[in-house]
Structure 1
Amino acid sequence: MNWKRKAYYLLISFFCMTIHYGFAQDQKLADSLSKIYKADTLRGVARMELLRNLAFNEVNDLQLALKYSEQLISLAGKEGNEFYLHQGYFQKGNKKRLLGDMEEALDAYFKSGEAARKAKSLKGEGSVYGAIADIYSISNNHNNAMLYYNKAIATLRQFKDSIALASAISNAGDEFLNNKNYDSALRYFKESGLIFEKVNYLMGKGYSKGNIGMVYANIGAKELAERNLNEAIQLLSSLEDYYPICVYLISMSDIYQEKGDHQTALNYAQRSLGLAKKYGLKEQISDANLKLSELYEKAGNTEASLKYYKDHIIYRDSVNNIRSVQKMADLRTDYEVAQKQVEVDLLNQEKRNQHIIVLSLLIILGLASIILVTLYWFYRIISKEKKRSESLLLNILPAETARELKRYGKVEAVKFDQVTVLFTDFVEFSKYAEYVEPEQLVRSIDFYFKGFDEITTKYGLEKIKTIGDSYMCACGLPTANHAHARNVVQAAREMIELVRTELHAPDTLSHFDIRIGIHTGPVVAGIVGIKKWQYDIWGDTVNIASRMESMSQHGRINLSETTYNEIKNEFSCEYRGEIEVKNRGSLKMYFLN
């Protein structure tokens, strides 16, 4: 077994140990609490705490635990409780992780972290950072893993939770060990060990000792490795945590094998196998059998080596479902029983066959891994480009219109009975354009239009288009909005204020005064053509709104009569009288005060 794999096992096991700020999960508690859950008598915070406990302690049925966490997320969202929203997403991430869905686990953790920050829970935020780092570590993304381990450690140092802090430091050490950065790994493991020692947290001490031993084994300090691994085994045995003990026992066997002490190496491997069988740890059963097969082979005991190798294959296949190798091993054993007189020759031949099969399997697995990685890479690229194209589409079209276009390939024109349309125009823009550099003019227009975009977004207006120095927007489409006129008037006021504030700003931009016109009425909206789509509106309302702008004055907002009737109870206006409009006759107009 290579060291990276060992470190991965221990990272997972240590994650399970610290999955909820250092407290142990309890299935019996979950079973007891489920009765209260079914009675459905708790409400509010009490109900949320019940769901959190159920999601955390339910270990036999991960789908049921996931259901509890989803219910907690829903309830906390409705109640506006950020702390329990953080808890719900954190438990969801934990369960998704155990189910092997790393992408959804990562998404849940990020949402948990956001809620923890809003709830001002340093402990929760630090724990989430550590969980995110674990995901990146498992995914072999070392840079991101260390980024979030360091954020977890820095956050938890502020909270001064010793166990949570030491756990994050230990897992960061695992990441360094996986990447063969032994000096850093040793430093982190020693620091976490000191913290665990200070608070007398035995399980943490056991893991720290074991991890330190594994570092020493990697750098050739065998005596230090043996001493620390033995101490880890003793501590974890007292806690009945046998999964890492099996790994450490194999590590001890490796050490004594290198020393040339065959019998001691054999004893440690046998102890690992015995514990693994007793507690049903299939991975460790497989690894211990492989180690014993290797030891007996080097000792010249071919028959025993073959027996343990066969058991290794059987348990490995029970995990990986590689039945063809198991069948070959069974056939080999049957043939040995029937042909005792040619045992030695047969064993040598079948051993060669075994190597060929293993090599073939490794090649197949390698090719399959390359194909899967390639497919995943293409999937990520396609997903990224899809999100990018959707983002660009939403910059061009309203969300509802974009969805319709993607679903049907076209957008039907829609009539809206009540829409408020706004036009702006910069005063004497053409005069400025005659003597100002085009680049400076474009920068200036870009500055103002970006400001207008922020204002329209704030008030739920839909930007329609810009024509030269004119900016057009509307409210009440593509979704009806009863406050369309009020929202447009409020946006117009902020546009006027923006222009007024910047009019004499001491910068390199060109600054202008502005006129604004607003009119309310029916329009038809949609998109036309097959290229360079643009959401646009048509109708007499658009023409009148444009006339309102051209009949306005510097720094003023000119309203039509229909808009005035919509907002007169909320805003102060000044009646201008009936004013003659080209091709429209006389129209009543009002200035917004």
Structure 2
Amino acid sequence: MLFCKSNLKILFFLISINCVCQSQKVADSLLVIYEKNKFLSTTEKLELLRNLSFNETNNLQKSIKFAEELILFSHQEKNYLYLYRGYIQKGNKLRLLGELKEALESYFKSLDAATKAKLPTGQGLAYSTIADVYSEFGNSKNAQIYYAKAVKILRKTNDTIGLASTLLNSGDAYINSGNLLLAKEKTEEAKTIFKQVHYESGEAYALGNLGMIYAKQGNDKQAEINITKAIKLLEKIEDYYPICVYLTYMSDIYLEKGNKTAALNYLINSLSLAKTHGLKKEISEANLKLSQLYDKLGKPKESLGHLQNHIIYRDSLKNLETVQKIADMRTDFEVSQKQAEVDLLSQQKKNQRIVVFATIIALGCIAFVAFGLYRRNKFVQKTNKIIDYERKRSDDLLRNILPESTAEELKVNGKVKAKRFQSVTVLFTDFHGFTHYAENLPPEKLVESVDFYFSKFDEIIEKYELEKIKTIGDAYMCAGGLPFPTEDHALKTVQAAIEIASFVEETRRLNAFNETSFEIRLGINSGPVVAGVVGTKKFAYDIWGDTVNIASRLESNSESGKINISESTYALVKDTFDCEYRGEIIVKNKGLMKMYFLNPVQVKKRITPAVSSLLQTTI
């Protein structure tokens, strides 16, 4: 944890194989390979199981099953590197399920495997995760023991970010136990390291923690200086969530000291910042604390007003907390790329030792040595070509799965900042009765059919300059208005939806007796979203927010062959397209919502030539 009472926790994972951002789409693709794994080599099977466990997000129990299979197979092969990875994966998933005791046992086993694999960075990571679990248990004494072990090992590695993160979490544990002197010592060192490597977010967290330590010591001036510096850095990197938390926490400290005026000012600033940046959770918490504080100040009217606002925002936060955590995650492509190069160079060194040994034995065989050196030189050239090829392939793959501007930002900075878009339009499609088809068709035929439709969908959204987000089974999701904001995103998305619906209907009409002819439902909604990249080895560009959830609900409440749009989208396209009002329909978790069916045949005014051509084809 960064500090008590906040639920804000810094988890800079120490190596790339233990990140917390996954891709279910990747897991679904790998599952096909897994079910036909009789031709895989040992290493390929180990890596496949690790990736399956890592990327499976829809079913954590299924992810644990893959991790356990990886553990069993690694035991059989006596491969301690993958044994360590299997236990780390299992521990991470158990921790997400809240099974802290079982997660702790798995982390201890990962430590044993990392030791046998002679993997110092892995040992440091294992010790650090063990300490984090003890900290979550509230066992500060055990947490500090294992933080100390992690720090001792990580000081001998090149993982400065991991070292600084562990020191910061260690300092936080000391804050929780009341040992402010040691808390300050650990946090100061973490701040120094973060500053040396220009890791601004880590430096900001360290400054924030120092501010709270000073506040607890009664040094209000130094507390405000450090908090102010932390806030400036966080504003620079546009990380507003921890700023609100720091301000709220400072309010708690001053309230405990009886300084209600200072406490009130910090809360008002926190609420103002949260409103400016649309941070619903922080708006809710600030309103609750303001309600409690105004009650203590004898102002029941203000207290009641803030309590009502707290309830309003609290009820809209059922899914937002998880979304924000995912959207705030940072990626580091360079770490995984460098690790691949290190592995290849290590293999070269092993081969060099073999060559040297052979040379010593065959001193009298000059010709043999020359031949060996020749082969070694060829191997080095071949290896370098492999490295160049893999680097180019990584670049090509990156540009294929991410928007070009996002991919370039990732390559240049090693990370991608999450961005908030005030107005985009999200389109969901789903094949009606797909489950019935899936039960009666061979898997190969089903995949071939879905690929046929989705390939055409890709062409259509590219035509209208939309951004494909992902596919989940038979569902297809795309959005207009990002990664570059546009004013006509709603019109373009509606036009694409019309062409998709037309294509599916035409395909079904021409292949009426074909068992893979589907009917489709479409749903469209417009509003704000958060967009960003998740993953450190398997990248995915995704969007989150109520706008996405409502678009999915609109698709679910649509009818076969029809395009169901929300009131917000209707307001953007009503002057161009004729729409049929459906009334207010009950939506799961949202209550009554106004919906409209789009009538693609009737166009109210002239639109782009490309769309005019499409509508003639549709009619």
Of structures 1 and 2, the one scoring higher in RCO (CA 8 A, sep 6+) is: 2
TM-score bin, normalised by smaller chain: 0.3 to 0.5
Q: Which of structures 1 and 2 has the bigger CA Rg?
A: 1
